[in-house]
């Protein structure tokens, strides 16, 4: 995906640490990837995998201190965001890169009308004010399919349902026609049916506007529905990355496999009922990251080399082009052997 399109975002070896009393917590450890214009990248991982922190860090949105960017480059349209002064970063935030946060209940200011909050980025980035800004705010509410938008502009967030508030957040994120929309667990706090509506909305808007999307989630089901490319993160590293169908059909990292197996299979109804798979163990203490593959301690396929040497993220042998994995072990071989033994 995306090889033929312009590179929008090029993350190179990004590393982020947080200083704590027990020593520095290495939250992100050398993350590199590219995102093409118009591409939808789903980043999957559990809490503490660095999936949210690394995008917040790119735009200077982590608190510093205690947060620190310890290395790397983030090229957005060719400019290194990490070298930009705060003033320049502010022009990008909300202007060229829009955000949607996890909890629509708490990410809108309870004391400001919805119109005032949508107008904010319009004023900052487009210099719109007064009637023009209000008209645009109404258009944006229409865009995210909030019925009766004109009448609802002057309402407060508490008068909107959770799904509607997330629509408002999306309207704010898209208000200045960004090149990139970053959604950080944007559907996690919502009901499943509302989740589906929001995902459908984002897909429609993507067709209309054509922005690239980074969709951060821990829910593989959401990723399957929305992403072109999936990137699996663990302990501040990318363990696997590739076209969405390929990742689901032919996972090459034991961690991805564990995630896939932990999903319930509802399509087979009663026959699909089984005890869900559970990945044994706990993520490593990131104050002292293990020298090798961070998932090795929980991986039944781990080799001796996994414990001592970190595998590079490289093209998975025999997989679709662009399907990268960081693993010393050969997962398909293990799975084939297990199949044969059964």
Residues found near another protein in the complex (CB under 8 A): 59, 61, 90-95, 99, 101-103, 106-112, 120-121, 124-125, 147-148, 151-152, 155-156, 158-159, 169, 172, 175
Strands 79-80 and 97-100: unpaired
Distance CA(14)–CA(318), nearest Å, equals 28
Q: How far is the CB of 149 from another protein (least distance, A)?
A: 10
3-class SS of residue 156: coil
**Which CB atom, from 97 or from 331, has the smaller least distance to another protein?**
97
Distances (CA, A) of 174 to 202, 267, 294: 10, 35, 36
Distance CA(32)–CA(13), nearest Å, equals 5
Do residues 100 and 169 lie in contact, with contact meaning Cβ atoms separated by under 8 Å? yes
Q: How far is the CB of 160 from another protein (least distance, A)?
A: 10
Distance CA(29)–CA(77), nearest Å, equals 23
Q: DSSP assignment, residue 272? A: G
Strands 237-243 and 314-315: unpaired
Question: What's the chain's length in residues?
Answer: 342
Q: How far is the CB of 60 from another protein (least distance, A)?
A: 9
**Which CB atom, from 109 or from 262, has the smaller least distance to another protein?**
109
Q: How far is the CB of 299 from another protein (least distance, A)?
A: 35
Q: How far is the CB of 218 from another protein (least distance, A)?
A: 18
Q: How far is the CB of 326 from another protein (least distance, A)?
A: 30
């Amino acid at each position: 995906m995306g090889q033929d399109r312009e590179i929008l975002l090029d993350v190179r070896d990004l590393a982020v640490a947080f200083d704590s009393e027990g020593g520095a917590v290495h939250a992100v450890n050398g993350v590199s990837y590219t995102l093409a214009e118009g591409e939808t990248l789903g980043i999957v991982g559990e809490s503490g995998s660095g999936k949210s922190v690394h995008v917040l860090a790119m735009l200077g949105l982590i608190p510093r201190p205690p947060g620190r960017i310890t290395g790397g480059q983030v090229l957005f349209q060719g400019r290194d965001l990490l070298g930009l002064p705060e003033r320049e970063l502010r022009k990008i935030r909300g202007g060229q890169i829009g955000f949607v946060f996890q909890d629509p209940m708490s990410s809108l200011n309870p004391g400001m009308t919805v119109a005032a909050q949508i107008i904010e980025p319009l004023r900052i980035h487009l210099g719109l004010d007064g009637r023009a800004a209000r008209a645009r705010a109404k258009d944006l509410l229409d865009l995210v399919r909030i019925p009766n938008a004109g009448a609802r502009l002057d309402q407060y967030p508490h008068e909107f349902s959770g799904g509607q508030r997330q629509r408002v957040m999306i309207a704010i994120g898209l208000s200045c026609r960004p090149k990139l929309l970053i959604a950080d667990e944007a559907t996690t706090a919502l009901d499943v049916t509302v989740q589906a509506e929001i995902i459908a909305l984002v897909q429609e808007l993507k067709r209309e506007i054509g922005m690239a999307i980074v969709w951060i989630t821990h829910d593989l089901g959401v990723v399957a529905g929305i992403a072109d490319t999936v990137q699996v993160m663990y302990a501040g590293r990318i363990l696997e990355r590739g076209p969405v169908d390929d990742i689901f059909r032919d996972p090459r990292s034991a961690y991805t496999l564990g995630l896939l197996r932990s999903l319930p299979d509802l399509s087979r109804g009663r026959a699909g009922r089984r005890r869900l798979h559970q990945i044994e163990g706990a993520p490593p203490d990131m104050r002292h990251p293990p020298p090798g593959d961070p998932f090795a301690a929980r991986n039944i396929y781990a080799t001796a080399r996994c414990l001592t040497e970190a595998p590079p993220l490289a093209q998975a042998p025999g997989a679709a082009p662009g399907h990268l994995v960081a693993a010393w072990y050969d997962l398909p071989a293990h799975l084939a052997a297990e199949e044969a033994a059964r």
